[in-house]
Amino acid sequence: MPKISLVTLGCAKNLVDSEVMLARLDARGYSFTADLSEADILIINTCGFIRAAREEAHRTIDLGLGWKRARPGRLLVVVGCYPERFSDYLKVRYPQVDAWSGVRAFDRIDEIIEKKKDVHRTGTFLLDHRTPRVISTGPYWAYVKISEGCSRRCSFCSIPLIKGPYKSRTVESVVREVKNLAALGIKEINLISHDTTYFGRDRKKTGLTTLLLRLLSVKGIEWIRLLYGYPDEVDESLLEVMLEPRMCRYLDLPFQHASGSILKKMGRGLNGTRALKLLDRIRKKVPGVVIRSSLIVGFPGEGPKEFKELQDFVARARFEHLGVFCYSPEPGTPAAGLVDDVPENEKKKRQQTIMRQQKEISRQFYSTFRGQTLEVIVDGSEARKPGYLTARARFQAPEVDGQVLVEPPAGQREKGLPAFLKVRIKRSLDYDLIGRVIDD
């Protein structure tokens, strides 16, 4: 059978879709390689959420076309969010691509390859507990996608245009998938969605709190983490569940901005004052909670005053983890009709300013762990530091936050490693920690 290489761009939700494709192709007898020179088929799973993601997709497709030209008979397949949104444009720009598909048929990727055409299906593909996946993440952790799409109408966001309205899985389906993962030795699950806190509301059924309580009963799962929540949806019942021992005291809440005028244009709630009150309530209710957020700079109308409000908010909020993005007008969104009046170089300057500010906050946060003993989950070897392992503490989400670089005892390398280790922290960096395994 032909050998396949698969490149995943974008978010964790895309990675899950790639895992579904790998499982489908594996069941059909295809083999896989990470070495492009050995591959007969290249699949690129794209992101099309913002301009930077589309530019990355262009660069990757261009590389794929060069790979295709190097040997006759190779197939290049491009799937995911970008062709879902702009298929006509992409087909004109890249006529050499052999097959295209959007977000509706990841589970039928073999047909797309073999027929060299998309599989037509109504609605975005949403996996369930019966959907095969090849878990491609660390040995002890996995993502669990609990929904697709989004029913909110943030003026800048193209997700509803790509994925459609919010569509939850059933509680039972998610629980059964997590049980399957536990049987494979997975110890940490990271619940992902475009809006995790909206779970169940589209079905007018029980929501996120009920799901979490059910998941806490699954034997073998030690850490449960929530990613991609909506600040307005954080209620007392969710905070109560966060106190459970197996819940990671971690919330990912994109606030996007702090200026009331900018947030109104964005179609978002919670200005800086209200957001700070929410953060205070969360931190009082859940001691030790760590909060990740994301912000957008350069939105139309963001002048020096509005940007100063954002800087002041970051200084007071003291997020443990933060991502900052430059605004790009997305075709078809309400914000695309606004005048994009902040120059690109100014957007990047503001992004760098906030990230310098955040770097100091992060450095101070990580410095508090020097001399402490932390329980960490093992991810694998550290290529940058031979002999060391990469691991994460409860307050570090995979792929987006920092890591704990671990020096194991000499004999431990030969014996193999358990899922969890006790590590004494020796040094702290801006975004990472360095420590050594200690005996119980």
Domain count for the chain, please give it: 3
Tokens read off for 1: 């059978």
Q: How confident is the model at residue 434 (pLDDT cuts 50, 70, 90)?
A: very high
Nearest CA-CA partner of 226 in 203, 206, 207? 207
CA dist., res. 62 & res. 236, Å (int): 49
Is there a single domain that holds both residue 342 and residue 388? Answer: no
Is there a single domain that holds both residue 182 and residue 210? Answer: yes
Is there a single domain that holds both residue 193 and residue 338? Answer: yes
- Mean predicted confidence (pLDDT) in 29-33: 96
CA dist., res. 408 & res. 438, Å (int): 8
Is there a single domain that holds both residue 86 and residue 222? Answer: no
Is there a single domain that holds both residue 259 and residue 175? Answer: yes
The answer to whether residue 248 is domain-embedded is: yes
CA dist., res. 214 & res. 244, Å (int): 12
Parent domain of 38 = 3-115
Query: End of a domain among 79, 100, 115?
Result: 115
Residue 274's CATH number: 3.80.30.20
Q: What pLDDT does residue 410 have?
A: 65
- Mean predicted confidence (pLDDT) in 388-396: 94
Q: How confident is the model at residue 411 (pLDDT cuts 50, 70, 90)?
A: low
Residue 9: C-alpha distances to residues 58, 80, 157, 191, 372 (Å): 11, 9, 18, 19, 36
CA dist., res. 395 & res. 320, Å (int): 9
The answer to whether residue 282 is domain-embedded is: yes
In one-letter notation, the amino acid at residue 230 is Y
CA dist., res. 216 & res. 259, Å (int): 38
Q: What is the per-residue pLDDT across 254-280, written as a single tens digit (0 to 9) for each?
A: 999 999 999 999 999 889 999 999 999
In one-letter notation, the amino acid at residue 315 is A
The answer to whether residue 62 is domain-embedded is: yes
The answer to whether residue 129 is domain-embedded is: no
Residue 398's CATH number: 2.40.50.140
Query: End of a domain among 72, 100, 115?
Result: 115
Is there a single domain that holds both residue 259 and residue 397? Answer: no
* 385 has a pLDDT exceeding 80: no
Q: How confident is the model at residue 415 (pLDDT cuts 50, 70, 90)?
A: low
CA dist., res. 350 & res. 287, Å (int): 32
CA dist., res. 360 & res. 362, Å (int): 5
Is there a single domain that holds both residue 78 and residue 148? Answer: no
Q: How many CB atoms lie within 10 A of CB 387?
A: 10
Query: End of a domain among 367, 388, 405?
Result: 367
* 440 has a pLDDT exceeding 80: no
Nearest CA-CA partner of 393 in 426, 371, 350, 425? 425
Element (H, E) at 224: strand 223-226
Is there a single domain that holds both residue 99 and residue 170? Answer: no
The answer to whether residue 136 is domain-embedded is: no
The answer to whether residue 195 is domain-embedded is: yes
CA dist., res. 135 & res. 216, Å (int): 21
* 26 has a pLDDT exceeding 70: yes
Q: How confident is the model at residue 387 (pLDDT cuts 50, 70, 90)?
A: confident
CA dist., res. 303 & res. 286, Å (int): 36
417 pairs with which residues across the strands?
Answer: none
Nearest CA-CA partner of 326 in 298, 364, 362, 354? 298
Is there a single domain that holds both residue 196 and residue 316? Answer: yes
Tokens read off for 407: 């020096």
The answer to whether residue 54 is domain-embedded is: yes
Q: What pLDDT does residue 399 have?
A: 93
Is there a single domain that holds both residue 332 and residue 382? Answer: no
Q: What is the per-residue pLDDT across 365-384, written as a single tens digit (0 to 9) for each?
A: 999 999 999 999 999 877 67
pLDDT above 70 coverage of the chain, percent: 98
Q: 167-168 and 250-252: which strand pairing?
A: unpaired
* 414 has a pLDDT exceeding 50: no
Q: What pLDDT does residue 361 have?
A: 97
pLDDT above 90 coverage of the chain, percent: 91
Q: What pLDDT does residue 381 have?
A: 78
Is there a single domain that holds both residue 358 and residue 398? Answer: no
The answer to whether residue 28 is domain-embedded is: yes
Residue 92 phi/psi, 5-degree rounding, is -75, -40
Q: What pLDDT does residue 279 have?
A: 97
Q: What pLDDT does residue 164 have?
A: 94
Q: What is the per-residue pLDDT across 180-229, written as a single tens digit (0 to 9) for each?
A: 999 999 999 999 999 999 999 998 877 999 999 999 999 999 999 999 99
Residue 110's CATH number: 3.40.50.12160
Q: What is the per-residue pLDDT across 89-148, written as a single tens digit (0 to 9) for each?
A: 999 999 999 999 999 999 999 999 999 999 988 889 999 999 999 999 989 999 999 999
Q: How confident is the model at residue 302 (pLDDT cuts 50, 70, 90)?
A: very high
Is there a single domain that holds both residue 331 and residue 409? Answer: no
User: pTM of the entire structure?
Assistant: 0.94
Q: What integer best gives the mean pLDDT of the chain?
A: 94
Q: What pLDDT does residue 375 have?
A: 96
